[in-house]
A and B are shown apart, each in its own frame.
Chain A
Amino acid sequence: GQQLNQSPQSMFIQEGEDVSMNCTSSSIFNTWLWYKQEPGEGPVLLIALYKAGELTSNGRLTAQFGITRKDSFLNISASIPSDVGIYFCAGQRSSNTGKLIFGQGTTLQVKP
């Protein structure tokens, strides 16, 4: 089935460092979403992107919708221990279908 390629698979960084992860696809998406999942919980929406080129921030998080509509990235600045978790990108090809396609996830560990 269709997949989003998310990288890196995992990251182990020092507290205070910046983090960057991205998601690519061979197909065009109309919506890109970034979620965070903590152990034993469901994914929680961080940022939603709806237009090519859109750059959106949520606190220390910044995400961009690629111009080609085939990619997106998420940056976390000045990481802190509570940033630990699995970050997923998700895309939707057509609007208002309720069908999301997820990347494989990036596992982030932060060393205090």
Chain B
Amino acid sequence: NAGVTQTPKFQVLKTGQSMTLQCAQDMNHEYMSWYRQDPGMGLRLIHYSVGAGITDQGEVPNGYNVSRSTTEDFPLRLLSAAPSQTSVYFCASSPGTGRSDTQYFGPGTRLTVL
């Protein structure tokens, strides 16, 4: 199993550009989440999904959209990038049954918005 994979690893955008961060998992996990990590802030939840076709907002959802058309994929879309969205983005997945709290994280995407 590859676990949780994220692409790209690095990205530089100009203000106003749009892009999609990709996340995929091959563990048949029901739950998937997106977090952003900023210095001194820990990780903050952006959006999450408890199954295909179901998404909900986390702590910092503004400026981001998600969809979950399959169990495996959970892309994060930035519609109009802003410098405040410069951050490291992590995708995570968890089984969704029993001990669903044990989330497995991808390696992250480092995004810079100029």
Contacts and interface: CB of A to CB of B under 8 A. Distances in A.
Interface string A68-112: 000000000000000000001010100111111111110000000
Contact of B41 (A98, A99, A104): A104
The A interface is mostly helix, strand or loop, or mixed, namely loop
Interface residues of B, number: 32
Contact of B59 (A1, A45, A48, A88): A1
18 contacts: A9-B40, A40-B107, A40-B108, A41-B108, A42-B107, A44-B105, A45-B102, A45-B104, A90-B43, A95-B100, A96-B100, A98-B48, A98-B50, A98-B103, A99-B58, A100-B33, A102-B43, A104-B40
A1 B32 CA distance: 21
A65 to B, nearest CB: 12
- Chain A residues touching B, range: 20 to 34
